[in-house]
Amino acid sequence: MTYDYNNMQILVSNLMRDKETTEVEFKSAKGGFPKSFWETYSAFANTHGGTIVLGVKEKDDIFTLNCLTDEEVDKIQKDFWSGAHNKNTINTCLLKNNDVQVAEIEGAKVVLFHVPQAQRDQRPIHCTQDAFNGTFRRNHEGDYLCSSAEVRRMFADADVMRPADGRVLKNYSWNDIDLPSFEQYRRLFAIARPSHPWHSLSNDELMRKLGGYRKDRETGEEGFTMAGLLMFGKYEAITDQSCAPRFFPDYKEIPADTSATRWMDRVYPDGTWEANLFQFYRRVLPKLQQVIPTPFQLEGNQRRDETPAHEAIREAFANLCVHADYSEESSLIVNLFPHRIVFSNPGTMLISKQQFYQGGESVCRNKSLQQMFMMIGSAEKAGSGVDKIMKGWQTLNWKRPYPVEKAQPNKVELIMPLESLLDEKVLSELDKIFGNRIKNRDKEDIMALSIALTEGIINNERLRDVLAMHPADITHLLQRLCKEEFLISKGHGRGTVYLLKVATSDEKVATSDEKVATSSEKVATSSEKVATPIPKRMRKEELCNEIIKYCSEWRTASEIAVHVGRNKQYIRNKILPEMAGVLKMLFPKENHPGQKYKVRE
């Protein structure tokens, strides 16, 4: 095999500079092929893949080359391929010849093994014959041995022919179904697909078509499925031990200031409604869509209130329900923060992050639930759901949604920022902090500093969601910004995070949603300092006329209050409601954190 030594040298140098991350592991191999190699191989394969580098030792967080000889390099490769094809060592060989490469740096050789992420039907990858005692996954602390429950879920996900929600439940009947939910679903189905032939079917027949009731041809068992109960069931029946005992859908609207209250609005199984997936979806979706601006648009002679961004939220909500692993310890959570929506579902991602962003991959954990949501226009089956989410947010020029996978318990979060990609206020604040030093910077530098300002901290993984760059190049960018005194770093290795240089050494790194200051809290508008002087004594009619002139462009209540020299609460609570016939709002929800006002056309 031939190698491009120049590229390999750069790659290994970057990896050593980055130190160990969730996707890179160094091992010495000076004493022979390390046994722990196969645990890391299993962990990378069962998570998001990664690179194992043999021939580098670490001491006190300093990485040095181990100077492997040619004989040692040859033996390492032979030992690897021997183990890779031995079921007693690893159950599946995922690597091809070009996934094993040799590089030479400063006269010392290292061997790189690029381990790909295993496909859904290949997992679990285990390094003993006993999957329950040899399956590993990767987190920020390194490799960890999976629990028996995690391994069982991998086997369940790998069985493509037996979707989790298609399981037939014993001793369930129509008495366990909330009929009002099923009838409401019928009406939505009729609106979404008015000419569909299933409208004439009986309840029994329609439930079968949707996958809520089926017969298992292998066992002969028939009955309501897990999908049927989750979507339309009574909460008591859903949470029975034989169905989904941990099911607990929960929505919270969380204010920026949590010192006064932890949440302003909440929807959860409190006994006042039948808490199945369909009712949770119906109650929560309108609350989420209220945060989306609704510009005046006409289609023919009809006003169109729904935009691609509304469709994006609907698709994301359906994905939350469709891709959840209802056997996990956690349940469905939707949190609406002032500057982001977080959809959290139990389970692991069935595709890689690269496949997620590329779109076109239709891999579903719960196919019957997907069918049910698809019939009311709330889910895509052709793998275009992520495309719809991304394009919907792109129409508003908001930051791109991105997934975050967490372990123990396993859950996947979809973060949907409610902030502009490069907000003018954020750019203005960066200009105040850094002055001329910020001018003529590359777009990537500005993006990194912008996220550091609005989110409090950044790291390599977060920037991968917004920058089309290799992780090693992102690390180089972050280190350069530290060297140029735009950022400061805290921690080391996998735990390294970065803050704006303006932060003092006494300040703690904010990591929770409640602690991280939002951009609206940090960024002062220029109008607060250069507001046009307005007479203190002014009749209300004159005050309103001044506001009308000022609101020829979109203005916040704070900007209006500063401009006219009046108390913000007086403007927001007294004046603006009285001017509702003259001013229009950017967001339909009056107390939206990004609310702005403009003169009606």
- Calculate mean pLDDT across residues 97-121: 89
**Strand partners of residue 303:** 298
Please tell me the distance from the alpha carbon of residue 301 to that of residue 1, in angstroms, as a whole number. Answer: 67
Q: Nearest CA to 52 among 12, 79, 83?
A: 12
How far apart CA 115 and CA 548 sit, in angstroms, is 62
Q: Of 158, 176, 203, which marks where a domain is finished?
A: 158
Kindly report which listed range (245-249, 279-283, 326-330, 518-522) carries the lowest average pLDDT score: 518-522
pLDDT at res. 359: 66
- Domain range for 112 is 5-158
Q: Are residues 205 and 305 in the same domain?
A: yes
Task: Say if 308 falls within a structural domain.
Answer: yes
Q: What is the pLDDT of residue 493?
A: 64
The answer to whether residue 508 is domain-embedded is no
The number of folded domains in the chain is: 4
With cut-offs at 50, 70 and 90, classify the pLDDT of residue 494. Answer: low
Residues 69 and 217 in one domain: no
3-7, 410-414, 591-595: least confidently modelled range:
3-7
Residues 193 and 338 in one domain: yes
- Residue 554's contacts (CB-CB under 8 Å, 6 or more residues apart) are 586, 596, 597, 598
Q: Say if residue 312 is in the same domain as residue 192.
A: yes
Other beta carbons within 10 Å of 301: 5
Q: For residue 102, give the CATH number of its domain.
A: 3.30.950.30
Please report the pLDDT score of residue 10 as a whole number: 61
**Mean pLDDT on 108-114:** 91
Q: Collapse the DSSP code of 223 into the 3-class scheme (helix H, G, I; strand E, B; otherwise coil) and give the result.
A: strand
User: For residue 509, is it within any domain?
Assistant: no
* pLDDT for position 159: 83
User: Same structural domain for residues 300 and 181?
Assistant: yes
318 & 366 share domain:
yes
Same domain, 371 and 258: yes
pLDDT at 593: 62
User: Residue 328's closest CA among 430, 251, 248, 446?
Assistant: 248
CB 527 within 8 A of CB 559: yes
List of E strands, 106-221: 108-115, 136-139, 142-145, 213-215
Domain identity same for 482 and 559: no
Same domain, 245 and 294: yes
pLDDT at 562: 81
Let me know whether 239 and 272 are in one domain. Answer: yes
pLDDT digits (tens, 9 = 90+) for 529-560: 334 456 656 788 889 989 999 998 888 888 88
Residue range 420-458, pLDDT digits in tens: 867 777 888 888 888 888 888 888 888 889 888 877 788
Q: Determine the pLDDT at residue 538.
A: 77
Q: Strand pairing of 100-105 and 108-115?
A: antiparallel
- The last residue of a domain, from among 408, 438, 453: 408
512 in any annotated domain? no
Whether residue 100 lies inside any domain: the answer is yes
Residue 345 lies in a domain: yes
> Rounded to two decimals, what is the model's pTM?
0.69
Residue 531: give its domain's CATH number. Answer: 1.10.10
Judge whether 230 lies within some domain. yes
If asked whether residues 392 and 452 sit together in one domain, one would say no
The pLDDT confidence band at residue 17, using thresholds 50, 70 and 90, is: low
**Same domain? 234 vs 312:** yes
Quick check: is 244 in a domain? yes
pLDDT value, residue 80: 96
- State the burial class of residue 369 (Cβ atoms within 10 Å of its Cβ: 0-12, 13-18, 19+): buried
